[in-house]
């Protein structure tokens, strides 16, 4: 198989053994470091991270072009795949692998799937007509009674072992506050929704203008 390495003005063919700028190519195997320089950036590579240097004065980059998947692997003498960054073109998702296991997947819609990222969250006005200020993975909120709300996920949870918490805050710029008020997550559903209630300091259900809800889990 023919191997060719082309840098700025320098070409290394596979058929011969050559030494050019300290880089030795023998049978397709390079010995030494590689510095691909288009123009002078004025910077110096950090020691320990100078085996491959891409240098340009303005904008620099590396492209991995493929039709299915693109990978960057991190390995050692025990596991050649202990760490990995992968882009899957069929799902348009990015996968980060640590300790030989997939740790984080960023989906095509921007959702981050891991045990340390929130699967859903919402900030909404629970008075009058429900108004969602901002959210992630929330399709709708229904007012089912005074201080009672059903929050429906866009993408369902895997089971009902997730953790959901809710909080109340005062109206910005007003004297109204929620001292003594509290929120309770009364019911969790594995596939569709969470049900929460808001209470005032007298333990009576009350509609609240600023409510936040966040969910972690699978």
Residues 124 and 208 in one domain: yes
Are both 137 and 196 inside the same structural domain?
yes
In a domain, 16, yes or no: yes
Residue with more model confidence, 110 or 5: 110
- Which pLDDT score, from 0 to 100, does residue 28 have? 58
User: Is residue 39 located within the same domain as residue 103?
Assistant: no
Nearby residues of 1 by Cβ (< 8 Å), 6 or more positions away: 14, 28
Whether 107 and 126 share a structural domain? no
The domain in which residue 22 lies consists of: 4-55
pLDDT digits (tens, 9 = 90+) for 149-190: 999 999 888 888 888 888 887 654 444 445 567 888 877 666
Domain count, the chain: 3
| 61 located within any domain | no
Mean pLDDT, the chain, as a whole number?
80
78 and 104 together in one domain: yes
């Amino acid at each position: 198989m023919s191997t060719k390495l082309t840098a700025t003005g320098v070409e290394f063919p596979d058929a011969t053994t050559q030494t050019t700028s300290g880089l030795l190519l023998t049978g397709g195997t390079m010995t030494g470091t590689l510095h691909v320089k288009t123009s002078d950036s004025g910077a110096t590579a950090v020691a320990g991270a100078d085996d491959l240097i891409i240098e340009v004065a303005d904008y620099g980059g590396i492209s991995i072009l493929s039709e299915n998947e693109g990978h960057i692997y991190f390995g050692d003498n025990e596991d050649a795949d202990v760490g990995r960054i992968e882009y899957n073109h069929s799902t348009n998702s990015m996968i980060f692998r640590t300790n030989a296991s997939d740790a984080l997947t960023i989906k095509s819609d921007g959702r981050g799937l891991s045990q340390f990222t929130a699967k859903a969250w919402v900030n909404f006005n629970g008075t009058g007509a429900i108004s969602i200020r901002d959210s992630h993975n929330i399709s709708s909120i229904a007012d089912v009674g005074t201080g009672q709300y059903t929050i429906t996920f866009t993408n369902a949870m895997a089971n009902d072992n997730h953790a959901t918490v809710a909080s109340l805050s005062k109206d910005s710029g007003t004297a109204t506050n929620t001292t003594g008020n509290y929120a309770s997550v009364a019911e969790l559903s594995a596939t569709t929704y969470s049900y929460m209630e808001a209470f005032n300091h007298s333990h009576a259900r009350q509609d609240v203008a600023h409510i936040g809800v966040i969910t972690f889990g699978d």
